[in-house]
Structure 1
Amino acid sequence: MESSSADSSTILDRILDAAADNLRIAKILVQMGLDPNNITYDALFNRLLEIVLANITLANMFALVGAIFLVATLLMHTMVPLRVANMAGCTFFVAFGALSGNVGTFILYLLLLPINAIRLRQMLNLIKRARIATEGDTSLEWLKPFMTERKYRSGDKLFKKDDAATEMFLTVTGKFLVTEISVEIPPGRLMGELGFLTPNKRRTATVECIEDGQVLTITYERLLEIYFQNPQFGYYFLVLTSQRLLENISRLEGIVAQEKAARQTLATDDIA
């Protein structure tokens, strides 16, 4: 038993010594083809240069360029250039995988290419809609795929004034009434978008369903996601909300003008 224990201890010591030798700088220098007893800066630099030149191949060059593009994506703040750089990096890594015979790398980056292409197309469509908005077309067809359907019956209240605002509505069918100002909202109009802009995220009016209808909804969190994916959407949304504010101002001016005319009529009658 004592002999067996001694043998095990000797074997363990040898294993530890071998592991220690492999971690020494001298061992590393030997593996690099350098003499540990005669090492200089020039010798080290020249040897590293030889190793780099020996590994310069077309496949490795593709991998290097691909890595540069993928690292560049980490420095980008907007999605469109990020997707373009990612697709370029994936293309170079596909070439690297094909030339080097690395099947895993080839398949991985080949699958990433169409995914990035689809996302890039979605972003470009969003930009196109945003540019159309700047020219006066405020169609919301592009936003519908991001929204969910909801139905209301006559008498249902979508939200009340001063309620917490968490989502925006797009009317599809039916009729809805802004009770504070007695204004009907027909199909194809936004509701609840102003709550997205108010500092306290509260409803500015009450909306009631006066005829069975259907709406599409989207949460403010989803709107923020779309905005951060493409800041141009911010301008698009600004155009939509500005249009609503201008309509409200025009409506108020009409009411003020009517009241002013009524007062002038009463004053004229009193004088007469």
Structure 2
Amino acid sequence: MNSSSNADFSTILNRILDTAADNLRIAKILVQMGLDPNNITYDALLNRLLEIVLANITLANMFAVIGATFLVATLLMHTMVPLRIANMVGCTFFVVFGALSGSVGTFILYLLFLPINAIRLRQMLKLIKRARIATEGDTSLEWLKPFMTERKYRKGDKLCSKGDAANEMFLIITGKFLVTEFSVELPPGSLMGELGFLTPKNRRTATIECIEGGDVLTIEYDKLLEIYFQNPEFGYYFLILTSHRLLENNAKLEEIIAQNKIAPPIAVASGTVEL
């Protein structure tokens, strides 16, 4: 039964080939392949294709096939680090292909891709490393600086007001800033605006005013989301880092409340109250 099915399948393919051979364009292609359009069969076509493949198996083409495999694999990857690595491997194989085949364009193109991918990979690995350190108690955001832009503020300037729409996070480099609602002074190295990134409505929870001119680094929430989606592991470490920040802010508030707490009144025999 299998032999009869194969025979039927071969017959169908031969009919398709006969019909295609009647087309002038296809006939020209068949002639270029070394086939007779008037006497074309499935077996003849298969054998000719196999001959062409075997004739073109060269060291250069093997490098090209391997490189193409790695580049196609990048389309199936969900995280940026393995994608960059696979891309660099694929580009390396294509650089060798370009050199062996004498294709100057291919050689230069993929040679330029290599340092670009290497730089982006290094940035991402550094980002992950610094974020991982944050889980061990280091809440420094030095690792975010390459992704941030600098902005200057003068005394009296407001970074944001309570209730405003939030779309960026701040890192103080120099100068001093005041959270007016809580009278909390923020020195250099302080992070501001991270809560707006985590809240559903992205609204500012306090007003921040510049009390001593300085420089601030900013990063938009869209960029933070981009970094997160490029590597979800970063998102996990960023949440831990912001959790540390929340705990620090909570401790500061408790300290302020304890310092400003009014002692309960003491009643005396005369009926007066002393504070």
1:107 to partner: Cα distance: 1.5
1:30 to partner: Cα distance: 3.1
CA distance in 2, matches of 1:213, 1:27: 74
1:185 is matched with which residue?
Answer: 186
CA distance in 1, matches of 2:54, 2:92: 24
CA distance in 1, matches of 2:259, 2:122: 50
Q: Equivalences for 1:54-69 in 2 at 5 Å?
A: 54-69=55-70
Deviations 1:8-59 (Å, cap 9, x if unpaired)? xxxxxxxxxxxxx983434433332233343332222112111111111111
Contact 1:155 1:208 (8 Å CA) reproduced: yes
Q: Letter of the aligned partner of 2:182 in structure 1?
A: I
1:132 is matched with which residue?
Answer: 133
Q: Which runs of 5+ in 2 are unaligned?
A: 1-21, 270-275
1:233 to partner: Cα distance: 2.4
Q: Letter of the aligned partner of 2:106 in structure 1?
A: T
TM-score by length of 1: 0.82
CA distance in 1, matches of 2:71, 2:228: 23
Cα distance change on mapping 1:26 and 1:146 into 2, 3 Å:
closer
Q: Deviation above 6 Å: which 4+ runs of structure 1?
A: 255-261
3-state DSSP of counterpart to 2:213: strand
1:215 to partner: Cα distance: 1.8
Cα distance change on mapping 1:27 and 1:211 into 2, 3 Å:
closer
Deviations 1:210-261 (Å, cap 9, x if unpaired)? 2233322222222223223332321232123212222333345556767999
Q: Equivalences for 1:152-191 in 2 at 5 Å?
A: 152-191=153-192
3-state DSSP of counterpart to 1:173: coil
Contact 1:176 1:209 (8 Å CA) reproduced: yes
CA distance in 1, matches of 2:255, 2:107: 67
2:29 is matched with which residue?
Answer: 28
Please tell me the root mean square deviation across aligned C-alpha atoms, in Å.
Answer: 2.5
3-state DSSP of counterpart to 1:170: strand
Q: Letter of the aligned partner of 1:217 in structure 2?
A: T
1:195 aligns with 2:163: no
Contact 1:166 1:196 (8 Å CA) reproduced: yes
Q: Which runs of 5+ in 1 are unaligned?
A: 1-20
CA distance in 1, matches of 2:109, 2:145: 32
TM-score by length of 2: 0.81
Cα distance change on mapping 1:116 and 1:259 into 2, 3 Å:
closer
Cα distance change on mapping 1:209 and 1:259 into 2, 3 Å:
closer
1:246 aligns with 2:247: yes
1:213 is matched with which residue?
Answer: 214
1:87 to partner: Cα distance: 0.8
CA distance in 2, matches of 1:45, 1:109: 34
Deviations 1:60-119 (Å, cap 9, x if unpaired)? 111111111111111112111111111111111111111111111111111211221111
Same amino acid, percent of matched pairs: 83
3-state DSSP of counterpart to 1:149: strand
1:9 is matched with which residue?
Answer: none
Cα distance change on mapping 1:101 and 1:257 into 2, 3 Å:
same
Q: 193-202 or 151-160: which moved more? A: 151-160
1:8 is matched with which residue?
Answer: none
Q: Letter of the aligned partner of 1:158 in structure 2?
A: L
Name the count of aligned residue pairs. Answer: 249
3-state DSSP of counterpart to 2:174: strand
Q: Letter of the aligned partner of 2:99 in structure 1?
A: A
1:95 is matched with which residue?
Answer: 96
CA distance in 2, matches of 1:141, 1:117: 21
